[in-house]
Amino acid sequence: MSCAAAYAPQLRARGYRMTPQRLAILHVLHHAGKHLSPTEVFEQAREELPRITETTVYRTLEFLALNGLARPAYMGSGHLVYEIARHEHHHLKCRNCGHEIEVEHTLLEKLYSELEAASGYRLTDSHVTFFGLCPNCQKGEE
């Protein structure tokens, strides 16, 4: 299935059209398999659309995130990164070597419910990155 076929119906359902810029950025995110900075998205999208600007990439990433097609995250660098919004999940990231793994959202659903009940907030985003030391780096501490 092409990226256009996968994502265009979702945009149309919200009243938007699939532009070449949106398609190029969705294509980059879909095939990346990891988080990308806006600059990395720009560099890769430019291969497909040479005239795309970095400003367009930033605006489009924000648009895609607001419409549930991209997921923004802070991964410890203090900078926003993006990935395609496939499923709700979180991350465990090693502070030493940078290795990361996905954690299914189902493991944190109870915590999310308790946070909402205790705070009165309705959580609208569901992406958390936990930092620690991976098993390999822990072995090096001994």
Q: Residue 39: what pLDDT?
A: 95
Q: Report pTM.
A: 0.72
Which of 84, 100, 122 is a domain's end point? Answer: 84
Task: Clarify whether residues 64 and 105 are in a common domain.
Answer: no
- CATH number of the CATH domain containing 44: 1.10.10.10
Q: Residue 2: what pLDDT?
A: 66
pLDDT (tens digit, 9 = 90+) per residue, 37-67?
A: 999 999 999 999 999 999 999 999 999 999 8
Task: Clarify whether residues 116 and 136 are in a common domain.
Answer: yes
Task: Clarify whether residues 73 and 114 are in a common domain.
Answer: no
Task: Clarify whether residues 108 and 38 are in a common domain.
Answer: no
- Both structure tokens of 73: 């995250």
Residues with Cβ < 8 Å from 131, sequence gap 6 or more?
Answer: 76, 92, 93, 94, 95
pLDDT (tens digit, 9 = 90+) per residue, 73-125?
A: 876 667 788 888 877 777 888 889 988 888 887 888 888 889 899 999 988 76
Torsion angle, alpha carbons of 38, 62, 17, 27, to 10: 30
Residues with Cβ < 8 Å from 31, sequence gap 6 or more?
Answer: none
Q: Residue 88: what pLDDT?
A: 74
